[in-house]
């Protein structure tokens, strides 16, 4: 039986979905760059004793709906990560949240996490891709109102083949929709525990084809803010470029966000902008961006903490900032 199973595994890998593709051209490139400003205090704090987010509130994913903004974020109670939902009219005040997606220990998810996800409003449904499993993979849940959720029965994106850059684990999905395609940027971990970023695309959000040239972004050089790991991408199109905010970890597990740009969504160049925590509450960690693009600004919600750790127990809270375009001097 082992030989049969192993042969089936090899066949599945051989028939895996990989191809060359590029994101559509983002328009005529403008010369200039973004300037960053942020509020000094969190806009969404940790919960109280007994709440699902009493230890950490991180990983916001925000979509605009008819009733305002919906935030699907990750809450940690010291044992389990769940996805919580909060609503806001302006993105700056978030009334009481509640858990809407929890890990199911009786399925592929295991009992530790169903969070760190990406929300997208499409065809009247909220689609939410999330991370789950002891060795994480990416699942999908859908909802019409944010109250009742239906999970897809199996992961929609699983491990790469032996030796691949995402052989060991996947996480931190961020999904955008453009010209009939969904593009997912996500973290992949290889057997050497290197965490880098790659991309896949899909028509329906369930069947994904990986870019054959992954990873799209490699680790930074020694001594840089992203020398030890990459994660938590947020991607958008503006000013003739594809842009990405991503989290970088240094060797001391301090996390900051970097900004990269691309003409095809595959080959990325880092910009000089690196966003570090400027207040006590986010002194050691700035991470987990989600964005909404408006005509005069890019609105950014992000996670922050005061403990240097790659995952949890960082006193995580959610902050708010903006990127505003400054044209190059002529």
What is the structure's pLDDT at 329? 86
Q: Among residues of the chain, what percentage have pLDDT more than 70?
A: 95
Residue 4 lies in a domain: no
Helices and strands of the chain, counted as H and E runs: 1, 22
What is the structure's pLDDT at 66? 65
Residue 11 lies in a domain: no
Partners of 101 in the beta sheet?
83
Task: State both tokens at 277.
Answer: 């925590």
Contact 301, 86 (CB under 8 A): no
Q: What is the distance between the alpha carbons of residues 275 and 252, in angstroms, rounded to a whole number?
A: 17
Residues 6 or more apart in contact with residue 48 via CB below 8 angstroms: 54
13-22, 42-51, 94-103: lowest mean pLDDT where?
13-22
9-13, 72-76, 285-289: lowest mean pLDDT where?
9-13
Residue 43 lies in a domain: yes
Q: What is the distance between the alpha carbons of residues 253 and 59, in angstroms, rounded to a whole number?
A: 17
What is the structure's pLDDT at 10? 36
Phi, psi of 83 (to 5 degrees): -95, 125
Decide if pLDDT at 149 tops 60. yes
What is the mean predicted confidence (pLDDT) over 250-256? Answer: 97
What DSSP line would sit under 169-219, residue for residue?
EEEEEEEEEETTEEEEEEEEE-TT--EEEEEEEESSSSSEEEETT--SBPP
109 lies in which domain range?
29-327
Decide if pLDDT at 84 tops 80. yes
Contact 317, 286 (CB under 8 A): no
Residue 9 lies in a domain: no
Task: State both tokens at 136.
Answer: 């994480």
Provide the mean pLDDT of the chain.
93
What is the structure's pLDDT at 330? 76
Decide if pLDDT at 13 tops 60. no
Over the stretch 14-39, which tens digit does the pLDDT of each residue have? 345 999 999 999 999 999 999 999 99
Contact 215, 160 (CB under 8 A): no
**pTM greater than 0.75:** yes
Residue 223 lies in a domain: yes
Buried b (16+ CB within 10 A) or exposed e, 218-248: ebbeeeebbebbbbbbbbbbbbebbbbbbbb
Decide if pLDDT at 160 tops 90. yes
Assign residue 205 the CATH number of its domain: 2.115.10.20
What is the structure's pLDDT at 95? 86
Over the stretch 266-284, which tens digit does the pLDDT of each residue have? 999 999 999 999 999 999 9
Residue 242 lies in a domain: yes
Q: How many CA atoms lie within 13 A of 269 on its CB side?
A: 6
- Alpha-carbon distances of 162 from 9, 18, 139, 159, 187, rounded to whole Å: 10, 14, 21, 9, 17
Residue 194 lies in a domain: yes
pLDDT-based confidence at residue 67 (cuts at 50, 70, 90): confident
Number of domains observed in the structure of the chain: 1
What is the structure's pLDDT at 311? 87
Residue 12 lies in a domain: no
What is the structure's pLDDT at 54? 97
Over the stretch 161-206, which tens digit does the pLDDT of each residue have? 999 999 999 999 999 999 999 999 999 999 999 999 999 999 999 9
Place of tokens 């994660």: 231
């Amino acid at each position: 039986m082992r030989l049969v199973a192993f042969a089936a595994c090899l066949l599945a890998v051989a028939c895996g979905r990989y191809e060359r593709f590029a994101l559509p051209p983002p328009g005529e490139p403008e010369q200039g760059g973004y300037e960053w400003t942020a509020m000094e205090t969190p806009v969404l704090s940790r919960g109280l004793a007994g709440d699902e987010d009493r230890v950490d509130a991180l990983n916001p994913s925000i979509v605009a709906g008819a009733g305002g903004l919906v935030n699907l974020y990750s809450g940690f109670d010291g044992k389990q990560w769940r996805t919580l939902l909060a609503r806001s009219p302006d993105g700056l005040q978030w009334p009481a949240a509640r858990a809407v997606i929890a890990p199911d220990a009786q399925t592929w998810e295991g009992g530790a996490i169903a969070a760190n996800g990406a929300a997208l409003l499409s065809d009247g449904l909220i689609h939410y891709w999330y991370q789950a499993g002891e060795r994480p993979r990416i699942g999908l849940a859908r909802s019409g109102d944010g109250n009742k959720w239906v999970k897809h029965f199996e992961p929609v994106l699983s491990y790469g083949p032996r030796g691949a850059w995402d052989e060991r684990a996947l996480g931190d999905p961020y999904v955008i929709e453009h010209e009939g395609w969904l593009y997912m940027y996500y973290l992949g971990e290889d057997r050497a525990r290197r965490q880098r970023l790659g991309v896949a695309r899909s028509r329906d959000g369930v069947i994904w084809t990986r870019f054959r040239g992954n990873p799209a972004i490699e680790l930074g050089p020694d001594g840089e803010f992203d020398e030890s790991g990459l994660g938590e991408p947020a991607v958008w199109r503006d000013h003739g470029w594809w842009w990405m905010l991503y989290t970088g970890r240094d060797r001391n597990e301090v996390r900051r966000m970097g900004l990269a740009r691309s003409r095809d969504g595959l080959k990325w160049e880092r910009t000089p902008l690196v966003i570090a925590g400027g207040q006590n509450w986010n002194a050691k960690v700035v991470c987990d961006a989600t964005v909404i693009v408006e005509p005069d600004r890019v609105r950014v919600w992000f996670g922050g903490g005061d403990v240097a750790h790659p995952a949890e127990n960082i006193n995580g809270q959610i902050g708010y900032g903006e990127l505003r375009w400054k044209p190059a001097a002529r």
